[in-house]
Amino acid sequence: MKNKYNALQILTKVYRHTLRAVPFSGVSGILNYLVQGLFPAFTSLVQARLFDAAYSLTQGVDTLTIVILYGSLFVVAYAVVYIFQFISSITINAGIYERCTSYYNMKISEKTAALPLISFEDVNVLNLQNRAKDCAEREILSQIYMSSTVFITSGISVISTISVLAAYNIWFVPISIFSVLPYFIARILRGKEFYSLKKAQAKKTRRLDYLWGLFHNKQAIKEMRVMGFGEYLAQKWVETRDEVNEELWQQNIKDGKSMLFCDTLKIIGYGLSILLALLLVVNGHISIGIFGACIAAFKSMQESTKSFLIDLGTMPEKMAFANDYFEFLDLTEDHNGIKSIDGIKDCISLSNVSFAYPNSDDYALKNVSLTIHKGEKIVVLGVNGSGKTTLSKIILGIYPPSQGEMRYDNILSSDIDKNSLYTYISVIPQNFVSYSLTLRENIAISDLRHLQDDSLIKHSLASTGLQSLLSQVGSLDEQLGPEFGGKELSGGQWQKIAIARGLFKTSELIILDEPTSALDPVLETEILRQFIEIAKNKTAVIISHRVGLCKLADRIIVMKDGQICEIGTHYDLIEKDGEYRRLYISQEQWYR
């Protein structure tokens, strides 16, 4: 896949972000490398004069002042370089690497928070996010900043030193270039391969993270212990890790071999340069001082060229990661309409709504038309996979319809400011979270204005059948969940807490997506009966695959294969010889 940005565009972005995040460190890093860049050529000139003056001194010529002058200059140059190195080692590590990395991570978090929720169902977005995280965590953007700074300074260093060497003898130029060029070629080839490998490994890396996460998930650990599949998952993790490592290992072997080849060429080049310089001394073309200085300069130039070319060679790989990072930051953010609403006054309506998940050809909802009137209690019924949860996400405005229209009181959902909409909506999801927070927070987190309202929280507990919970845990400020040494509750108690939390929020519409499906049917019906009682002034949509509550609903919507196949009251639908009657008869014995 072609990169969206070219190298110059990426460099501009990296510089802009770095200088914005850490201006002092950014500038001092550049200054340090400028000084380092000029150092070899400067010392080479000083060294040649120093050696010649010292040689003359040994021949009885009075060059002591010159020796002292150039000797002092030599020491001062080293001191200046070391002072700059010292300052920049702090600013580079703490600023350009650590602070920038947290800045880049923060940008990923901000972007993730701003993405449309449907993006998280898109495997391409998840992979791009993964590579962007990889880019930030491996400090690639900071490396690009530093490498590009090194380019400039290595460039200065190489050009100035080659000019000095060329002035002694022109043959030094091709030999220097020949000895370091292989690094460049090797790096470019390996860099591209490494990036392609990392890209191809993105899915495996995500699987590794996922499997690793299971071993840190309380529920999963319990299940794998009892059901005895921990070993199987661990083995799966090991196999995936080995596959990833083996591919990286093969890549590193290739890399190592080419580096060995390059190092051999470099040594040959260095030996040739000494030989050439010796010939020039023997033939009287250069002095003994220049001979010494030129060998030192050749070595330092070779080092600069090597690091310059190695950095340049790794650039395509780094640029490709950086491209992914900036592409992730470019993803379209959640569209938020501008119309503020002050409640859902009349109805919620769907007109010919169809919906397909990203990267899926099948429609999870097909041509759904439905009007939910204010205050209605609706049960959405259907077997697993019939489209109930997808419908609830469309009603909540979390997913935009792929086709058709969704309106709240005749206003298109895409036109509405979601923050104003969510003031009036509450949800109790299927996979609700059991927060390791206090009992108070577990209830009132849905409406923080009443976080300190003890009587309201207690009322909420009582009305969801949790009267005894308060005396069981001690107080509202008691920590729940074992993570921080709090009290662990039963599954049923957590479910009731989730319902209490959903009901605690002052809302006009409440959606309950089977949080009680794990309970036995009679207990579930009992809890839902209480729910309907408490939610009597609200519009409620209850998703279920069980018929227990249907007699209490104003209307039942029966879903099948992503479509509404029946709508009506229990008595209407039982009369018909359709899907509802079939479901009812198959479950009837649970409720006798």
Q: Which residues bind ligand ADP (CB under 6 A)?
A: 121, 357, 360, 364, 382, 384-390
C-alpha of 510 from chain center: 32
Q: Which two tokens stand for residue 52?
A: 């010649």
CB of 387 to ligand ADP, least distance (A): 4
Closer CB to ligand ADP, 252 or 360, in the complex: 360
Min separation Cβ 130 and ligand ADP, Å:
17
Find the shortest distance in angstroms from Cβ 368 to ligand ADP: 11
For every residue of 390-444, DSSP letters joined together read HHHHHHTTSS--SEEEEEETTEEGGGB-HHHHHTSEEEE-TT----SSBHHHHHH
Contacts with 540 (C-beta within 8 Å, 6 or more apart), sequence order: 376, 377, 378, 509, 510, 511, 512, 531, 532
**Phi, psi (rounded to 5 degrees) for 367:** 50, 50
Can you give the length of the chain in residues? 592
Q: What SS3 string covers 486-542? A: CECCCHHHHHHHHHHHHHHCCCCEEEEECCCCCCCHHHHHHHHHHHHHHHHHCEEEE
Tokens of 105: 């991570």
For residue 335, the 8-state DSSP code is P
Give the number of other CB atoms < 10 A from CB of residue 152.
Answer: 14
Q: How far apart are the first and last CA of the chain?
A: 61
Shortest spacing between CB 123 and ligand ADP, in angstroms: 9
Task: Give φ, ψ of 4 to 5 degrees.
Answer: -80, -35
Nearest to 121 by CA among 285, 396, 303, 360: 360
Closest distance to ligand ADP from the beta carbon of 386 (Å)? 4
Closest contact distance (angstroms) between CB of 589 and ligand ADP is 23
Specify the residue, 500 or 559, whose C-beta has the smaller distance to ligand ADP. Answer: 559
**Residue 385 Cβ vs ligand ADP, minimum distance, rounded to whole Å:** 4
Edge-to-edge, what's the strand order for the sheet holding 363-373?
Answer: 363-373, 347-356, 403-408, 411-412
CB crowding 201-210: b at 16 or more within 10 Å, else e: bbeebebbee
Output the smallest distance, CB 357 to ligand ADP, in A.
3
157/69 Cα distance (integer angstroms): 24
DSSP state of 349: E
Cβ at position 402, least distance to ligand ADP in Å: 12
Smallest distance, ligand ADP to C-beta of residue 358, A: 7
Any long-range contacts for 584-587 (C-beta under 8 Å, 24+ apart)? 584/547, 584/550, 587/521, 587/546, 587/547, 587/548
Q: Give the span between the Cα atoms of 435 and 419, in whole angstroms.
A: 23
**DSSP labels, 430-454:** TT----SSBHHHHHHTTSGGGTT-H
CB atoms within 10 A of CB 74: 16
Q: Is 226 left (phi over 0), alpha (psi -120 to 50) or beta?
A: alpha
Closest separation in Å from C-beta 391 to ligand ADP: 7
Cβ proximity to ligand ADP, 387 vs 515, nearer residue: 387
Which residue type is seen at 158?
Answer: V
Residue closer to ligand ADP (CB basis): 306 or 546: 546
Contacts of 525 (CB under 8 A, 6+ apart): 546, 548, 549, 591
CA dist., res. 459 & res. 352, Å (int) = 41
Residue position matching structure tokens 């040959």: 268
